Amino acid sequence: MEQEKVLEVKNLQKHFKLGRSNIVKAVNDISFDIYKGETFGLVGESGCGKSTTGRTIIRLHDATGGQVVFNNENVHGKKSKKDLLKLNRKMQMIFQDPSSSLNPKMTVMDIVAEGIDIHNLAKSESDRKMRVEELLETVGLNREHATRFPHEFSGGQRQRIGIARALAVEPEFIIADEPISALDVSIQAQVVNLLKKLQRDYGLTFLFIAHDLSMVKYISDRIGVMYFGNMVELAESDELYNNPLHPYTQSLLSAIPLPDPDYERYRKRMAYDPAEHDTSEEPVFREVKQDHWVRCTTKEFEQYKKQLEKN
């Protein structure tokens, strides 16, 4: 049975102009699909363009080129205010820093209810209150927290408030932009487990953006690896970990520590230097094996195929 596509990203570009002539190609011609009910992980080091990709998908940035298609609708097409509201209800975002993404002057009640108010989802004031309190309990907080302000909570609790705010409008698709990077390690797993539970309970589809490959593997069905605005590898989570082909993916995986002293004693960190690789032609995204894509030249493509045959 063919999977239902929720999101199609086609040759997406987002360029920023710095000064008169300097152009930064933050997102440079990337393509991928996300299917209903899955979590697609997008990873890479800081500055690779992954957060810009997420923000361009949800239209916080206008695309320089390419298309974003959500439920067969062009996200960046010309839209009326009514159409934009409808789109914004179906696509929501959880931001990286819960401290700066929550208005410090608003109570938790008003923060979570903001989307409910905009989309007129509550029938009455009591219905509004009930919806917010239920959402707080859903994300592991208490009803009593509704009257408090953001500064009264820990980082993990603030991120739960951000998750409740995203859920308030009953979205289909959520972009989680580094939702755990600002949290203590002990809290990160709790937030990721909450997202997994919400996905099961509500049938949500996620784009999970992060730089921590070990956490991305835990939550994601498929993973795309970005390097300087380009998608360099894309595969199912286990496949990417077991058979990383692009040298940059290999370098990221080599940096992951394991709770094994013997392994750590001999672990070698691989450095990625693009200058060491084939420059005879412009690399393109190619399917090396079914559902495993790598950005490579023709020569590298043949090498990767032989490498997979040996494994």
**Nearest-angstrom CA–CA distance, 79 and 210:** 31
Rounded Cα–Cα distance for residues 107 and 102 (Å): 10
pLDDT band at 286 (very low <50, low <70, confident <90, very high): very high
CATH topology of domain 5-310: Rossmann fold (3.40.50)
Instruction: Please state, in angstroms and rounded to a whole number, the distance separating the CA atoms of residues 11 and 27.
Output: 9
pLDDT in tens, 74-101: 999 888 888 889 999 999 999 887 778 8
| CA distance linking residue 71 with residue 287, whole number of Å | 25
**Alpha helix segments (H runs only) across the chain:** 50-57, 81-90, 98-101, 108-118, 125-138, 155-167, 185-202, 213-219, 237-242, 247-254, 261-266, 298-310
Separation CA 160–CA 135 (nearest Å): 10
Give the pair of three-digit tokens for residue 305: 């195929």
CA–CA separation, 300 and 72 (whole Å): 35
What SS3 class is residue 55? helix
Cα 226–chain centre separation: 12
Which residue from 69, 26, 22 is spatially nearest to 50, judged by alpha carbons?
A: 26
Two tokens at 139?
């994300």
pTM of this structure: 0.92
Q: Residues 229-284: pLDDT tens digits? A: 999 999 999 999 999 999 999 999 888 777 777 767 777 777 787 777 777 889 99
Instruction: Quote the CA–CA distance of 42 and 260 in Å, as a whole number.
Output: 27
Please give the average per-residue pLDDT across 6-14, as a whole number. 96
Position 115 confidence tier, pLDDT thresholds 50, 70, 90? very high
CB 270 within 8 A of CB 247: yes
52 against 253, higher pLDDT: 52
SS3 assignment, position 15: strand
232-257 CB burial, b ≥16 within 10 A, e <16: bbbbebebbbebbbbbbbebbbeeee
What is the chain's length?
Answer: 311
- Sheet with 222-227, strands from edge to edge, namely 91-94, 173-177, 205-210, 39-43, 222-227, 230-236, 292-296, 284-289
